[in-house]
Structure 1
Amino acid sequence: MIGLFSFDGPMYKDINGIYCNTTLTNEMFSRYFEVVDELVVLIRTLPLDKTYIEANMQKVDLNNMKIIEIPNLNTVKGFLIERNEYSKIIEQYVGKSDLIFARMPSIISDLTIKYSLKQKKKYFVEVGGCAWDAHWNHGLLGKIIAPYVYLKAKSGIKKSDYASYVTEKWLQKRYPSNGINTFASNVYLNKVDNHVLQSRLKKINDVDCKKLKIGTTAAVNVKYKGQEYIIEAISILNKCGYDFTYELVGGGSPDYLKKIAHKFGVEDKVTFKGLLSKNEVINWLDTIDLYAQPSKQEGLPRALIEALSRGCPAIGSNTAGIPELLENSVRFNKGDVNVICEILKKMDNPSLSNNAIINFNKSKEFELENLNFKRNRIYKKYKQAVVSIKETYE
């Protein structure tokens, strides 16, 4: 069986021509080999000016997997010129494939779905976020095309034969599918260890709640992740006798957020850690006192789930699937700095401990064994349906 995976990604290609990534890894792509023998990956690919090791990324080099590089079709040039050329390539690979996995939102996946419908092929959508939010928060061009991509995504998902959502309810309500569907996050958690929670509770017992170290894992060069609101909040509170610090893990240029920190006079309280490996992120999570997910757009944030699995007390916005993970008392409307401040001021050792226990137990729902069971069950149903159709025509 030949499988096709489509997504805007991006995938990266290092200075030596080696494909690499931090989330689209061998471990992630391996799941499809439960039902296919070969996998073609149609994905936007960007060059790196360093090796994958220097970039703290993982090599992507599975056997029987072929990567087809697609340019950025979200640009004016991509939308008006390159789209036609690469549409033909996408159509050809759809024709050669048996099982089609289209990860959304994605312009490449919109085209994959278009040709799957044209060729009357069953397809599987993986809904990882909101198409509207993903474009609306990306400048003027994003706002212009947001209605178009939203309607395309809504239509493509609705007509899908099979669907997997990263949220339990939120994305399903906005982008319903008429097909067989399930929900399973893209996070990778091995069985969580209760010793982690015990270590966290001991740490909380010793912490000074007026000197919390707050952390966020997210790209630092995209404004919709909302780190600026945490920076503003700690600047307000530190003027009132608190001594909060904020550590940011993630790739991209920190220039914008450095300007925000300078504007609010907390340059010495904000630290940019850069892109860390998976193990480095885990070790770092164990050093912070509170995790923050202040996003203006999301699906179901993997970084937040990873923080919960380390017993981190956490706060977050009411965006997308975040309310499925966090209690109401630690949530705020996106950009509401005043409420962020109020939440932080109410933090004490008992509430941090209670929050840590709730979060740790919540993370167990996302252990890899549980998620793989859900995915494999629906993948096999999809494969059986395709095999039955092929046998009918043979």
Structure 2
Amino acid sequence: MIYFVTIISFLSVVVFLKITRSLSSPCVLMSLTWTGVFIGLSLNVDFYDDLQPIPLFYLLLGSLIFSTSSFIFQTSYQKRQNKVKIANKTFERNPMIPFFIFILIILLPFYIRSQLADLSGVSNTLREIRLASLAATGGGGFFANVFLLSEVVSIFALLNYLISGRKYDLILYLVGLSVAFLYGGFSGAKGTIINILIANYVAFIVLRPKRAVLTTIFALVASFAVLFLGLYFINFAANSTTYSFDYIAHTAINYFLGGTVAFSAHYFTILSFENHQNIQTAWSSIFRIFEPGTNTTSIHYPFIQIAPGYPTNVFTMYFPLIKEYTLVGCFTVVAIFGMMFGWVYFRARSSSSYLVLYSLFSLSIFQSIFSDLFLYASLLITKYIIVIALLSFASKAYYKYVAKNRNSLNNMGKLGKSKLVLYKTD
């Protein structure tokens, strides 16, 4: 069954690529993500527990439903656009990004100090930070939102450079990206840095589609390298005498394939588990503002073994959705989010703000092989929307101020650095 699923999934990639001619389209990204997983399982079929055909079919069907609905919604809006004459598509440079990078740099020492506070200092620091974050409740507090800002700012900084091509913007981007990496690194989680890489990668291939293949290879290699190093220095605390490189490499591969194995090989077992990765839990940090005494529950699932000596506690995005909404409800939710992503992608091809939003939305696509980052990440998505809207509002207010004071700024010789820079697309 795994070979059949792999072939059908691969054919869907070919079809969507041929129709959209875009590697960055959500239908292509979703199909590619799951095709990569299916190929990985096909190459390691003897290593893992036996995969059951029905759950595998659910995974394929979910990918096809998302991709098809996103494609239909994207093309329907595109046809509607073609019937109406509109202005040339342009991307606008955000001049407020240097200010926010400066703010992030100022806050960085305070963040690092808060992460290092109350650590024993007797073991690996990053490992201790990671264990503390797993035990903590409440959504991460103030600095979790600062890290979120650093993600958004890094993508805006990338767009600024791609739009203007100036060395000044390149330096700012490298600084902003480095700051975002530091915020992510001191969270003790490997995924934060990988998320930054992926979001920047998606933004890049939308504006530079001709370099998509090379950039994709780089993003994959860099993501795997970050994951491997994170496992070595965080999960296993660099204890190479106990954990060999071969074991760590297999564990890294399990991060990408393990959720699918667990869902497909142990479908009925995991359905007996309780699910706390739902929309109620996602918004619980907001509820606790009004009801501080609200009890918190662990969002982590029990471990199950997917191969001798290799456990996992991730079961793809489909387990929590099926558990909460039944099979029909799960695929309905997937279809709705496919439509939403298709619409956002359509807007992202002509708007800097929507492109940043789509780049961050795309994380839900790539992480669908781990867990539900659609409904469960709804609070996070809402925060992204708010932060991007605020940065866009600040940019528009700045340009409005420049336009209003154009004459005086010209007289002072300051207009040169504040001019509106646009990037036209096809």
With structure 2 as the length reference, what TM-score do the two structures score?
A: 0.23
Higher relative contact order (Cα pairs below 8 Å, separated by 6+ residues) = 2
More helix by share: 2
More strand by share: 1
With structure 1 as the length reference, what TM-score do the two structures score?
A: 0.24
